[in-house]
Amino acid sequence: MDPMKAALLVAGGKIEVGTIPVPRPEDHQVLVRTSAVGICGTDVHLFGGQANYNFDSTGVPIPLSVQPQVLGHEICGTVEEAGRGVADLKPGDRIVVDQGLNCRSQRIDPLCDSCASGSSHQCFHYQEHGLTGKQGGFAEYVAIAAVNAVRVDGDLPSREMALTEPLACILHAVDLAERSGGPYRFGGERRVENILILGCGPAGVLFLQYFRNVRRFDGPIFMVDLNPRKLALAEALGGIPLAAAGDDLVGEVQERTGGRKIDYLVEATGAGAPFRYMGGLLRRQATVILYGVGREGVDLSVLNALHFGEPTVILPVGASGGFDADGRPRVFRQAMQHLASGRVRVAPLITHTCRLETLPEIFTRDYHKPEFTKAVLLPE
């Protein structure tokens, strides 16, 4: 088999760029030449050794020394070759990739309860390119199920289209919050009148644009961060910047809302500290989306202040959303269309790009710089 370049995570804190065989597509798959791959905070956690989602049959993580991993799950590319059973994609088609392998992409029939109910990211048989040991996009090519490939609309640059996956996760998070039945909603008698987003990184700014430009929310959206550059970007995209934390943030929010406090809060930092003062930010029976993952440094007692206000608390993960008639993921197609239309802009988020040879520097050097927001690998 022909070799291709790939970046392999061989140990915590160590990525080596080398060669592996080009995968051969099965009948139901397409071979994709990767053109752009977003670098996610989850990739950073895996690189740093804080996580390993590649488990053996008994649920024990497989050490990187036994099975190095090719990360990268925010994938945009071009079809290089279509398997014999693929009739609706051809070489040259630009696509974005749903990296999650569900019942449909693994040809499992009947569908499990999760896939049948539109929660494909919770598939009983779930696997994921770039996260669970399946080869990801930090390589020149990747073979994926054809039903996981969504043809790109328009001519948006690949580096921007690679952010379809993180935007799809935001769509899923908001949809899950609405389906969970909190009393404050974007329509109806108890209408959401304000939103607060903790963190102006990629997720926070995508939430902001989705609320403003897709859901057409016209009330105040407060954006919280201590990085002036990120706050300036959030303000330019329609947010109200707040450079505060702790009691100072609580006081400023209460002043700006006339004591009403917050109807809808998105925690997009993954830090534990906000839980210490979150109760002081929230109106009773508010909606809270806990989007960030991590939350180190706090114990469960921080939830006491939230408990008595009866919030609807949502812990979303991934980009579930059911399937279109062609078997492809509906939420990925919706997210891709929001990018192609310009309703959600991601170019301002991309502060760094790299090649495979310079990818390790993103993890060891650039990610920790104050000017860093989002990096995209451009393998070609």
Which among 231, 141, 139, 215 is positioned nearest to 171, based on CA atoms? 215
Residue 352 has a pLDDT of: 97
What DSSP character marks residue 210? I
Angle at CA of residue 196, ends 209 and 363, nearest 5°: 65
Tens of pLDDT, residue by residue over 256-279, are 999 999 999 999 998 999 999 999
Strand segments (E) across the chain? 3-11, 14-21, 29-39, 74-82, 94-97, 100-101, 127-128, 141-145, 149-151, 195-198, 221-224, 240-242, 262-267, 282-290, 312-314, 350-354, 374-377
Q: What is the DSSP string of 258-313?
A: TT--EEEEEE-S--SGGGGTGGGTEEEEEEEEE-----TT--GGGGHHHHTT--EE
Residue ranges and CATH numbers for the domains of the chain are 3-163+346-377 (3.90.180.10), 170-314 (3.40.50.720)
Residues 35, 79: Cα–Cα separation, whole Å: 10
Contact assessment for residue 190 and residue 162, using Cβ atoms and an 8 Å cutoff: no
What DSSP character marks residue 46? H
295 has pLDDT over 90? no
- Kindly state the percentage of the chain with pLDDT values over 90: 87
SS3 195: strand
Residues 372, 379: Cα–Cα separation, whole Å: 20
Contact assessment for residue 304 and residue 311, using Cβ atoms and an 8 Å cutoff: no
356-360: long-range contacts, CB 8 A cutoff, minimum separation 24: 356/5, 356/6, 356/7, 356/17, 356/138, 356/139, 356/140, 357/17, 359/7, 359/15, 359/17, 359/39, 359/138, 360/7, 360/15, 360/17
Best-predicted range by mean pLDDT (173-182, 217-226, 307-316): 217-226
Which among 142, 159, 119 is positioned nearest to 29, based on CA atoms? 142
Angle at CA of residue 201, ends 163 and 299, nearest 5°: 120
Task: Map tokens 């109106």 to a residue.
Answer: 283
Residue 323 has a pLDDT of: 94
Residue 2 has a pLDDT of: 85
Task: Map tokens 């279509």 to a residue.
Answer: 82
Task: Map tokens 């991309």 to a residue.
Answer: 350
Tens of pLDDT, residue by residue over 350-374, are 999 999 999 999 999 999 899 999 9
Tens of pLDDT, residue by residue over 22-42, are 999 999 999 999 999 999 999
Which among 253, 263, 46, 35 is positioned nearest to 164, based on CA atoms? 35
Pairing of strands 350-354, 374-377: parallel
Average of per-residue pLDDT values in the chain: 94
Task: Map tokens 């090719």 to a residue.
Answer: 70
Model confidence at 1, pLDDT cuts 50, 70, 90, reads: low
